[in-house]
Amino acid sequence: MSSISRFMETNFRHFNARETLDAAKAWNDLLGRGGKMFLTMAGAMSTCELGISLAEMIRQDKVHAISCTAANLEEDLFNLFNHNEYKMVPEYRDLSPEAEKALYDQGFNRVTDTCIPEGVLRQVQRRISKLWAAAADSGKPMFPYEYMYALLDQPDIEQFFQVPKEHSWVLAAKEKGLTIYSPGFEDSTLGNIFCAEVILGHVKSHSAIRTGTEQMEVLAQWYTEQGKAGTPIGFFQIGGGIAADFPICVVPMLIQDLEREDTPFWAYFAQIGDSTTSYGSYSGAVPNEKITWGKLDIDTPRFMINSDASIVAPLIFAYVLGW
């Protein structure tokens, strides 16, 4: 056992620490039974550079499919292409409205202590627009992640990287051939740019992007194939929202709407978040509530870690990786 894992085994004994360690151990147990892990990301996980550890999880076959907000999908590439232009504001709690406006006037959009330059991805935006236009013209639409993969496949693209390519979880996913589901693509910077390109006439129509229901169909096919092969699938949720509720609903859809009653429930569930349960939110719902929705079974291992995902997720990844 390496240093991080040994530290967790020694010190993580109670409360959220104990829950964190138990979730990590159960992840390893799932993989040891020949299972696979489906990971979801909301929040600003790519902005906080979770990709440094997540990319290694993907490379070592600890994660097998991903659902994330389109913002997390694009922000991993923003960091890959524009990292040196970001600005850190450690004293963000003390910023006045005037200071916030000054950041805006300087071309920065703030996410907590991290300011993302307004011009992110501009040096490759023209390339993405050409991919969108070609798909619309040919009548061969693609999912958002497939455009990211096509961009990363361009032979001269690496000249634009500003961080080690090993730190990009999207690049790692591409190299492993993983599917990335991104429901709600329109709620993202690239979604806004895509819409603007259509309005300007640079892209012929909105049909260049395959729809969310098509994503659900692809997910249903994948989940069914895993079930037929006897492969248990776990669900590791960072945050909540559409990135998580969209894919977890594939199980009740298969059982209730397609009447495939032999569909297995999710075989593991863990959630990191800080949403309050009593507010009625999906993000704050305790795991056992999902039993009533036909997502989990009564014996599904369930973990709810009320903490900061930017701290907890890398620790769990480190444990699973044996670091």
Q: Dump pLDDT digits (tens) for 175-193.
A: 999 999 999 999 999 999 9
* Domain covering 3-321, topology: Deoxyhypusine Synthase (3.40.910)
**What pTM was computed for the model?**
0.97
Contact (Cβ atoms closer than 8 angstroms) between residue 270 and residue 236: yes
Examine the pLDDT at 122 and tell me if it is beyond 90. no
User: pLDDT tier at 244 (50, 70, 90 boundaries)?
Assistant: very high
User: pLDDT tier at 1 (50, 70, 90 boundaries)?
Assistant: low
The mean pLDDT value of the chain amounts to 96
Examine the pLDDT at 29 and tell me if it is beyond 70. yes
Mean pLDDT of 94-112: 97
The predicted pLDDT at position 277 comes to: 77
**Percent of the chain beyond pLDDT 70?**
99
Distance of CA 44 to the CA centre of its chain: 9
Examine the pLDDT at 278 and tell me if it is beyond 80. no
Domain boundaries, the chain: 3-321
The predicted pLDDT at position 281 comes to: 80
Which residue has tokens 């202590």?
113
Examine the pLDDT at 51 and tell me if it is beyond 70. yes
Q: Which of 112-121, 129-138, 280-289 has the highest mean pLDDT?
A: 129-138
Examine the pLDDT at 313 and tell me if it is beyond 90. yes
